[in-house]
Structure 1
């Protein structure tokens, strides 16, 4: 779903409104006047939490000189000082070593990232599309239409996954 063009339109993710807890508005890209961007870092609510059959789409553009970016699905918002106790999925794109990692944090304990995949799908200063499909036992992750990996659920309740957080070297053009 596209980021709205007016202040009266609601930005949505899947079937409910997102709220940007950092209270940064959508910005118009100076280079691309027709593209509205969501401010990064971004934090938004996933109405009703996750469930099998639900998917999240993040479309954006990698920065020209990127270091990394993270997309996290969390149970609660948390803060920088007091993060949420459960991170159901964190996708970590690291440009220096060209790694796309995934990990989870359950009851405040981070797991080791899963083994890196041989393919790094992101290119500096280029657009991308990430789809996170929620299934009964796992998340299935696609980048630009290609399935990259599965990530099996670590948290007990999918409905408790109610927040998406995005940080790092990217611009968000669409979130749905």
Structure 2
């Protein structure tokens, strides 16, 4: 089934605006090959059906660009615009290749909090595939890259169901989302 996409605010949106994370389809979204480039174009913005809750996970699979600078993956409360992010960003993951950092931070009531930077290793390699899993637990997000737990990020946004949008931008190609 083909799903149309539209572009507004410089971000691609699917027609239904949702990521599929239902129990009936526990795997990743896997659109027809012809639709992949249209649906998963970076920058990307999509809805998280039902918002976040403990036990839910988001999976982002992709390939790092050949000459990457950085990429960001954000879980937000609402879509916002490219210039003005939503007032609440529950988790922003920032891969910075020049200094080999994988930063994370949150924005609550319009104010960015302190960045967390410590990681045991930098997991991304130019022109190579990766798989990021963001597991939502009661008190934190647990982030895995290629099956290895990299860090925990404790919730700053109190209402997990309000976290309803994923935004992805930067030096990567998205191959699957779920």
Please give the range of the TM-score, normalised by the shorter of the 2 chains.
0.7 to 0.9
Shift of 1:142: 0.2
Shift of 1:52: 0.2
Q: Which residue of structure 2 lines up, in the alignment, with residue 7 of structure 1?
A: 2
Report whether the alignment pairs 1:81 with 2:83: yes
**2:119 counterpart SS class:** coil
Rounded Cα–Cα distance in structure 1 between residues aligned with 2:140 and 2:75: 13
Query: Of 153, 156, 164, which aligns to 1:154?
Result: 156
Q: Which residue of structure 2 lines up, in the alignment, with residue 104 of structure 1?
A: 106
* Contact 1:60 1:173 (8 Å CA) reproduced: yes
TM-score for both structures, normalised by structure 2: 0.82
Rounded Cα–Cα distance in structure 2 between residues aligned with 1:80 and 1:93: 18
Q: What's the CA shift string for 1:1-57, capped at 9, x where partnerless? A: xxxxx51598743129xxxxxxxx6318xxxxxxxx710000000011000000000
* Contact 1:87 1:104 (8 Å CA) reproduced: yes
Query: Of 9, 31, 36, which aligns to 1:26?
Result: 36
Q: Which residue of structure 2 lines up, in the alignment, with residue 173 of structure 1?
A: 175
Q: Which residue of structure 2 lines up, in the alignment, with residue 64 of structure 1?
A: 66
Q: Which residue of structure 2 lines up, in the alignment, with residue 22 of structure 1?
A: none
Rounded Cα–Cα distance in structure 2 between residues aligned with 1:115 and 1:121: 13
Rounded Cα–Cα distance in structure 2 between residues aligned with 1:13 and 1:175: 8
TM-score for both structures, normalised by structure 1: 0.83
**1:91 counterpart SS class:** strand
User: Which consecutive residues of structure 2, in runs of 5 or more, have no partner in the other structure?
Assistant: 5-15, 24-34
Moved over 6 A (4+): none
Counterparts of 1:113-132 in structure 2 under 5 Å? 113-132=115-134
* Contact 1:13 1:56 (8 Å CA) reproduced: no
* Contact 2:19 2:47 (8 Å CA) reproduced: no
Rounded Cα–Cα distance in structure 1 between residues aligned with 2:112 and 2:19: 29
* Contact 1:73 1:88 (8 Å CA) reproduced: yes
* Contact 1:46 1:163 (8 Å CA) reproduced: yes
Shift of 1:174: 0.4
* Contact 1:63 1:169 (8 Å CA) reproduced: yes
